[in-house]
Amino acid sequence: CHELDTDIIGKKVISFETIDSTNDYAKQIATNENEGTTIVSEEQTSGRGRLGRHWHSKSHEGIWMSIILKPNIVPYKAPFITLIAGASIAKALNTLGVNTKIKWPNDVIVNGKKICGILTELSAEIERINYVVLGIGINVKTMEFSSEIENIATSLYKEGYNLSRVDVVKAIIKEFETLYFDYIHKNSKLETLKVCRNYSAIIGKKIYILQGEDRELVKCIDINEDGNLIVEKDNGSIKEIVSGEVSIRGE
Protein backbone atom coordinates (compact mmCIF):
# COMPACT_ATOMS: atom_id res chain seq x y z
CA CYS A 1 0.00 0.00 0.00
CA HIS A 2 2.93 2.37 0.59
CA GLU A 3 5.58 3.02 -2.02
CA LEU A 4 9.07 2.26 -0.84
CA ASP A 5 12.07 3.79 -2.45
CA THR A 6 14.07 0.54 -2.47
CA ASP A 7 14.99 -2.12 -5.05
CA ILE A 8 14.44 -5.36 -3.15
CA ILE A 9 13.82 -4.88 0.56
CA GLY A 10 10.15 -4.16 1.24
CA LYS A 11 9.16 -4.38 -2.43
CA LYS A 12 6.50 -6.80 -1.27
CA VAL A 13 4.85 -6.06 2.06
CA ILE A 14 2.35 -8.43 3.66
CA SER A 15 0.40 -6.75 6.43
CA PHE A 16 -1.85 -8.08 9.17
CA GLU A 17 -4.14 -6.56 11.78
CA THR A 18 -3.12 -9.33 14.14
CA ILE A 19 -0.85 -12.36 14.00
CA ASP A 20 0.96 -14.59 16.49
CA SER A 21 4.46 -13.44 15.51
CA THR A 22 5.68 -11.86 12.28
CA ASN A 23 8.92 -13.86 12.63
CA ASP A 24 6.98 -17.14 12.84
CA TYR A 25 4.87 -16.22 9.83
CA ALA A 26 7.95 -15.17 7.86
CA LYS A 27 9.60 -18.52 8.64
CA GLN A 28 6.55 -20.39 7.36
CA ILE A 29 6.54 -18.64 3.99
CA ALA A 30 10.25 -17.90 3.56
CA THR A 31 11.05 -20.81 1.24
CA ASN A 32 8.48 -19.64 -1.30
CA GLU A 33 9.16 -15.91 -1.07
CA ASN A 34 11.79 -13.77 -2.73
CA GLU A 35 14.38 -11.87 -0.79
CA GLY A 36 13.03 -8.68 0.70
CA THR A 37 9.44 -9.72 1.40
CA THR A 38 8.44 -7.93 4.58
CA ILE A 39 5.73 -8.89 7.06
CA VAL A 40 4.18 -6.25 9.32
CA SER A 41 1.39 -6.53 11.84
CA GLU A 42 -0.50 -4.02 13.97
CA GLU A 43 -0.47 -6.52 16.83
CA GLN A 44 1.30 -9.74 17.78
CA THR A 45 -0.34 -12.16 20.17
CA SER A 46 2.89 -14.12 20.82
CA GLY A 47 5.64 -11.66 19.96
CA ARG A 48 9.00 -13.22 20.74
CA GLY A 49 12.19 -11.67 22.04
CA ARG A 50 15.63 -13.17 22.39
CA LEU A 51 16.33 -15.98 24.86
CA GLY A 52 12.72 -17.15 24.67
CA ARG A 53 11.38 -13.95 26.20
CA HIS A 54 7.98 -12.47 25.51
CA TRP A 55 7.91 -9.28 23.41
CA HIS A 56 5.09 -6.83 24.21
CA SER A 57 3.44 -6.06 20.86
CA LYS A 58 0.16 -4.31 21.47
CA SER A 59 -2.09 -3.10 18.72
CA HIS A 60 -0.99 0.09 16.90
CA GLU A 61 1.70 0.87 19.48
CA GLY A 62 4.74 -0.11 17.55
CA ILE A 63 6.45 -1.45 14.48
CA TRP A 64 6.42 -5.23 14.51
CA MET A 65 8.05 -6.42 11.33
CA SER A 66 10.09 -9.23 9.82
CA ILE A 67 12.16 -9.12 6.66
CA ILE A 68 12.94 -12.29 4.69
CA LEU A 69 16.53 -12.33 3.45
CA LYS A 70 18.34 -14.84 1.24
CA PRO A 71 21.97 -13.77 1.39
CA ASN A 72 24.47 -15.74 -0.62
CA ILE A 73 27.03 -15.93 2.18
CA VAL A 74 28.35 -18.66 4.44
CA PRO A 75 26.20 -19.17 7.55
CA TYR A 76 28.80 -17.97 10.06
CA LYS A 77 28.65 -14.53 8.45
CA ALA A 78 24.92 -14.18 9.15
CA PRO A 79 25.12 -12.70 12.69
CA PHE A 80 26.61 -9.53 11.22
CA ILE A 81 23.17 -8.88 9.68
CA THR A 82 21.95 -8.04 13.19
CA LEU A 83 24.59 -5.31 13.42
CA ILE A 84 23.57 -4.03 9.98
CA ALA A 85 19.98 -3.83 11.22
CA GLY A 86 20.96 -2.02 14.42
CA ALA A 87 23.10 0.42 12.45
CA SER A 88 20.27 1.09 9.96
CA ILE A 89 17.76 1.72 12.73
CA ALA A 90 20.10 4.04 14.63
CA LYS A 91 21.03 5.91 11.46
CA ALA A 92 17.44 6.28 10.30
CA LEU A 93 16.18 7.44 13.69
CA ASN A 94 19.03 9.89 14.17
CA THR A 95 18.25 11.33 10.73
CA LEU A 96 14.63 11.73 11.85
CA GLY A 97 15.90 13.71 14.85
CA VAL A 98 15.87 10.99 17.51
CA ASN A 99 19.00 10.81 19.64
CA THR A 100 19.57 7.07 19.41
CA LYS A 101 22.36 4.76 20.58
CA ILE A 102 23.17 1.11 19.89
CA LYS A 103 23.67 -1.33 22.71
CA TRP A 104 25.67 -4.09 21.05
CA PRO A 105 24.60 -6.42 19.61
CA ASN A 106 20.79 -6.27 19.46
CA ASP A 107 19.28 -3.25 21.11
CA VAL A 108 18.65 0.32 20.12
CA ILE A 109 18.20 2.72 23.01
CA VAL A 110 17.01 6.28 23.64
CA ASN A 111 17.88 8.07 26.89
CA GLY A 112 19.35 4.84 28.25
CA LYS A 113 16.20 2.79 27.73
CA LYS A 114 15.36 0.22 25.09
CA ILE A 115 13.07 1.26 22.25
CA CYS A 116 13.96 -1.48 19.81
CA GLY A 117 14.96 -5.13 19.79
CA ILE A 118 16.18 -7.28 16.94
CA LEU A 119 15.63 -11.03 16.62
CA THR A 120 17.55 -12.59 13.74
CA GLU A 121 16.69 -16.21 12.95
CA LEU A 122 18.65 -18.36 10.56
CA SER A 123 17.82 -21.45 8.55
CA ALA A 124 20.99 -22.90 7.08
CA GLU A 125 22.77 -26.00 5.89
CA ILE A 126 26.48 -26.54 6.42
CA GLU A 127 27.66 -24.32 3.59
CA ARG A 128 24.66 -22.28 2.60
CA ILE A 129 21.86 -20.21 4.01
CA ASN A 130 18.26 -21.10 3.17
CA TYR A 131 16.94 -17.89 4.61
CA VAL A 132 17.33 -15.36 7.37
CA VAL A 133 14.34 -13.78 9.10
CA LEU A 134 15.21 -10.39 10.49
CA GLY A 135 12.67 -9.42 13.14
CA ILE A 136 12.51 -5.83 14.31
CA GLY A 137 10.33 -4.52 17.11
CA ILE A 138 10.18 -0.77 17.79
CA ASN A 139 8.11 0.81 20.54
CA VAL A 140 6.67 3.87 18.84
CA LYS A 141 3.52 4.96 20.70
CA THR A 142 3.56 2.78 23.83
CA MET A 143 2.75 4.83 26.95
CA GLU A 144 2.70 2.12 29.59
CA PHE A 145 4.94 -0.87 30.07
CA SER A 146 4.40 -3.74 32.47
CA SER A 147 6.14 -3.37 35.83
CA GLU A 148 8.92 -5.87 35.00
CA ILE A 149 10.19 -3.76 32.11
CA GLU A 150 9.10 -0.19 32.85
CA ASN A 151 12.57 0.76 34.11
CA ILE A 152 14.36 -0.54 31.05
CA ALA A 153 11.90 0.00 28.18
CA THR A 154 10.57 3.13 26.55
CA SER A 155 8.93 4.32 23.34
CA LEU A 156 9.66 7.10 20.90
CA TYR A 157 6.50 8.89 22.00
CA LYS A 158 7.37 8.60 25.70
CA GLU A 159 10.74 10.20 24.98
CA GLY A 160 9.07 13.12 23.24
CA TYR A 161 9.23 12.03 19.60
CA ASN A 162 5.95 11.96 17.72
CA LEU A 163 6.81 10.15 14.51
CA SER A 164 4.64 8.32 12.01
CA ARG A 165 5.30 4.60 11.92
CA VAL A 166 5.25 4.60 8.12
CA ASP A 167 7.98 7.26 7.97
CA VAL A 168 10.11 5.31 10.44
CA VAL A 169 9.71 2.04 8.52
CA LYS A 170 10.54 3.71 5.20
CA ALA A 171 13.67 5.35 6.58
CA ILE A 172 14.90 2.13 8.21
CA ILE A 173 14.32 -0.03 5.15
CA LYS A 174 16.13 2.46 2.94
CA GLU A 175 19.19 2.55 5.23
CA PHE A 176 19.07 -1.22 5.68
CA GLU A 177 19.06 -1.94 1.96
CA THR A 178 22.17 0.17 1.41
CA LEU A 179 24.18 -1.34 4.28
CA TYR A 180 22.97 -4.88 3.57
CA PHE A 181 23.92 -4.72 -0.12
CA ASP A 182 27.33 -3.28 0.82
CA TYR A 183 27.89 -6.41 2.90
CA ILE A 184 26.37 -9.03 0.60
CA HIS A 185 27.48 -7.73 -2.79
CA LYS A 186 30.63 -5.74 -2.00
CA ASN A 187 31.76 -7.63 1.10
CA SER A 188 32.03 -4.25 2.81
CA LYS A 189 31.34 -3.78 6.50
CA LEU A 190 32.90 -0.33 6.73
CA GLU A 191 29.84 1.88 7.02
CA THR A 192 28.03 -0.50 9.40
CA LEU A 193 31.06 -0.67 11.69
CA LYS A 194 31.46 3.10 11.56
CA VAL A 195 27.82 3.62 12.57
CA CYS A 196 28.01 0.92 15.28
CA ARG A 197 31.06 2.63 16.76
CA ASN A 198 29.81 6.21 16.43
CA TYR A 199 26.45 5.49 18.00
CA SER A 200 27.68 2.92 20.51
CA ALA A 201 26.14 3.18 23.97
CA ILE A 202 28.91 1.06 25.51
CA ILE A 203 32.33 1.81 23.99
CA GLY A 204 34.49 3.40 26.68
CA LYS A 205 32.15 2.33 29.45
CA LYS A 206 32.24 -0.29 32.17
CA ILE A 207 29.76 -3.01 31.31
CA TYR A 208 28.68 -6.36 32.62
CA ILE A 209 28.94 -9.33 30.30
CA LEU A 210 26.01 -11.54 31.20
CA GLN A 211 26.27 -15.29 30.69
CA GLY A 212 23.54 -17.29 32.34
CA GLU A 213 23.75 -16.51 36.04
CA ASP A 214 27.30 -15.15 35.73
CA ARG A 215 28.22 -11.56 35.16
CA GLU A 216 31.64 -10.11 34.68
CA LEU A 217 32.53 -6.43 34.93
CA VAL A 218 34.79 -5.29 32.08
CA LYS A 219 35.65 -2.14 30.19
CA CYS A 220 34.34 -2.00 26.64
CA ILE A 221 37.15 -0.95 24.28
CA ASP A 222 35.86 -1.32 20.72
CA ILE A 223 33.92 -3.29 18.14
CA ASN A 224 36.38 -5.11 15.89
CA GLU A 225 36.35 -5.79 12.14
CA ASP A 226 34.22 -8.90 12.64
CA GLY A 227 31.64 -6.98 14.63
CA ASN A 228 32.71 -8.62 17.88
CA LEU A 229 33.14 -6.74 21.11
CA ILE A 230 36.62 -6.09 22.47
CA VAL A 231 36.71 -5.72 26.25
CA GLU A 232 39.40 -5.31 28.89
CA LYS A 233 39.24 -7.34 32.06
CA ASP A 234 40.26 -6.03 35.48
CA ASN A 235 43.62 -7.78 35.22
CA GLY A 236 44.34 -5.91 31.99
CA SER A 237 43.84 -8.82 29.63
CA ILE A 238 41.87 -8.27 26.45
CA LYS A 239 38.99 -10.51 25.50
CA GLU A 240 36.78 -10.80 22.42
CA ILE A 241 33.05 -11.31 22.96
CA VAL A 242 31.34 -12.94 20.00
CA SER A 243 27.74 -12.81 21.05
CA GLY A 244 25.70 -12.47 24.15
CA GLU A 245 24.20 -9.92 26.34
CA VAL A 246 25.67 -6.90 28.03
CA SER A 247 24.36 -4.50 30.59
CA ILE A 248 25.76 -1.08 31.24
CA ARG A 249 26.98 -0.56 34.80
CA GLY A 250 24.53 1.43 36.84
CA GLU A 251 21.68 0.78 34.41
The reply, when asked if residue 21 is annotated as ligand binding, is: yes
Q: Is the separation of the CB atoms in 101 and 109 below 8 Å?
A: yes
In whole angstroms, the minimum distance from the beta carbon of 44 to ligand BTN comes to 6
Among 49, 75, 79, 112, contact with ligand BTN (rule: CB under 6 A): 49
In whole angstroms, the minimum distance from the beta carbon of 167 to ligand BTN comes to 18
Angle (deg, nearest 10), helices 190-198 and 165-186: 130
Q: What is the DSSP letter of 200?
A: B
CA distance 52 to 4: 32
Per-residue binding string, ligand BTN, 92-121, x by CB under 6 A, is: --------------xx---------xxx--
In whole angstroms, the minimum distance from the beta carbon of 147 to ligand BTN comes to 18
Asked whether position 10 contacts ligand BTN by CB under 6 A, the answer is no
Q: What is the Cα Rg of the chain in Å?
A: 17
Report the sign of the C-alpha dihedral through residues 16, 19, 23, 28, in that order: negative
Question: Residue 20: is it exposed, middle or buried by C-beta count within 10 angstroms (0-12/13-18/19+)?
Answer: middle
Q: Is the separation of the CB atoms in 1 and 15 below 8 Å?
A: yes
| Cβ-based nearer residue to ligand BTN, 50 or 206 | 50
Among 6, 37, 64, 98, contact with ligand BTN (rule: CB under 6 A): 64
The reply, when asked if residue 50 is annotated as ligand binding, is: yes
The reply, when asked if residue 128 is annotated as ligand binding, is: no
Q: What is the DSSP letter of 127?
A: S
Asked whether position 47 contacts ligand BTN by CB under 6 A, the answer is yes
The reply, when asked if residue 154 is annotated as ligand binding, is: no
The reply, when asked if residue 31 is annotated as ligand binding, is: no
The reply, when asked if residue 49 is annotated as ligand binding, is: yes
Count CA within 13 A, CB hemisphere, residue 221.
14
Question: Residue 103: is it exposed, middle or buried by C-beta count within 10 angstroms (0-12/13-18/19+)?
Answer: buried
Separate counts of helices (H) and strands (E) for the chain: 4, 12
Select the span of 21-29, 82-90, 196-204, 237-245 touching ligand BTN (CB under 6 A).
Answer: 21-29
The reply, when asked if residue 15 is annotated as ligand binding, is: no
Asked whether position 37 contacts ligand BTN by CB under 6 A, the answer is no
Footprint of ligand BTN on residues 133-152 (CB under 6 A)?
135-137
The contact set with ligand BTN (CB under 6 A) reads 21-23, 44, 47-50, 53, 55, 57, 64-66, 106-107, 117-119, 135-137
Binding residues for biotin: 21-23, 44, 48-50, 114
Binding residues: 21-23, 44, 48-50, 114
